[in-house]
Amino acid sequence: MTVTDDFVREADTFRAELLAHCYRMMGSVHDAEDLVQETYLRAWRSFERFEGRSSLRTWLYRIATNTCLTALDRNSRRPLPSGLGAPGDDVSRLAPAQSEVAWLQPVPDALIAPDPAALVVSRDSVRLAFIAALQYLLPRQRAVLILRDVLAWPASDVADLLDTTTAAVTSALQRARAQLAGVMPSEDDTVEPSSASLRALLTRYVTALENGDVTSLVQLLREDASLEMPPVPTWFAGRDAVAAFYTSRVLDDPSAWRYVPTAANGQPALAAYRWDDGSYQAHNLQVLTVQRGRIARIVAFREVGLFATFGLPEEL
């Protein structure tokens, strides 16, 4: 048995949870995938020197966290449009897409939790609202909060990983929790993606879009529903504004659209394809937040590169 064989056999079981960890840190599935690869490369190179004073899992998390912190020195925040300004008031006018902004990205459920039971455990810690809220924290605060509150590491272990004191970790955690409380929206009564009611709601949503049925769409939306479409910075708040946008931009020609259900961030999602040049082309990937049986938030990521990450074709 070679060092490579030993390392692959022992370390590969942690890949999905390390990807989830890097995604929480970075807010980007593409960055997370790259940093997990970097983590494994660094770990493989030094595996012969691994002395077993901690578990292999702890050692890999140490490498992954420090790799993420180094990357965050270059870009520490990935926003959504609602994090940059007030909502728009005219659905006929959208600001130009800002491709220079490093926007938040969704993550496929299948990548972070191949086992459905594991997703149930980690769902709250990968919800889009939580990942967006983490972007407001300084990198080391973000690391402390994830390690302490998500992974339930003892403060002493976090201090050892970050080469600091337990008191400093406790202080950073208090500041991070306070900051998070100020930006984290309430998501009480969020329906779980596995529930029959959620599957039915998703079916009704797709049916309303495919039929151009604005009345049914309005019935599915909460009064405080919002719509965001990164990289377009314009976003809309309130059921009337969201319905008006759909009426003028989507439901006016429903035959131009096709939808493929998927799942992201422990939430229901749809891949939307739009008719163009003789076929249906990838257009946006929508992640839905459902509260109390209605849609509270739609984030439609207009990033075609995400489709491959979700195992979806760019053309139907």
How confident is the model over 247-296, as pLDDT tens digits? 999 999 999 999 999 999 989 999 999 999 899 999 999 999 998 889 99
* Residue 205 C-alpha from the chain's centroid: 21
CA 213 to each of CA 218, 219, 221, 252: distance values in angstroms, whole numbers, following the listed order: 9, 10, 13, 10
Rounded to two decimals, the pTM is 0.92
160 and 202 fall within a common domain? no
Look at residues 131, 159, 183 and tell me which one is the last residue of a structural domain. 183
Domain-located, residue 190: no
Rg over CA atoms, the chain: 21
Instruction: Give me the percent of the chain exceeding a pLDDT of 90.
Output: 75
Whether residue 154 has pLDDT greater than 90: yes
Cβ–Cβ < 8 Å for 251, 96: no
How far the first Cα of the chain sits from its last, in Å, is 46
Segment 37-52 mean pLDDT? 83
Domain-located, residue 67: yes
Determine the Cα–Cα distance for residues 249 and 189; give it in Å rounded to an integer.
30
Strands in 294-301's sheet, in edge-to-edge order, are 232-237, 221-229, 294-301, 279-291, 267-276, 257-264
Q: Which residues pair with 261 in a beta bridge?
A: 270
Look at residues 183, 211, 239 and tell me which one is the last residue of a structural domain. 183
Instruction: Give the domain CATH number at 241.
Output: 3.10.450.50
Counting the structural domains of the chain, the total is: 2
Residue with the larger pLDDT of the pair 266 and 154: 154
Look at residues 131, 160, 183 and tell me which one is the last residue of a structural domain. 183
Instruction: Kindly indicate the confidence band of residue 1, based on its pLDDT and cuts at 50, 70 and 90.
Output: very low
214 and 148 fall within a common domain? no
134 and 231 fall within a common domain? no
114 and 227 fall within a common domain? no
Instruction: Give me the percent of the chain exceeding a pLDDT of 70.
Output: 91
Domain-located, residue 293: yes
Domain-located, residue 191: no
How confident is the model over 57-98, as pLDDT tens digits? 999 999 999 999 999 987 778 999 999 999 999 999 999 999
159 and 227 fall within a common domain? no
Domain-located, residue 315: no
For residue 179, how many other CB atoms are within 10 A of its CB?
18
239 and 143 fall within a common domain? no
Domain containing residue 214: 196-309
How confident is the model over 171-214, as pLDDT tens digits? 999 999 999 988 877 655 444 545 677 778 889 999 999 999 99
146 and 217 fall within a common domain? no
- Tell me, what's the pLDDT at 187? 55
252 and 110 fall within a common domain? no
140 and 235 fall within a common domain? no
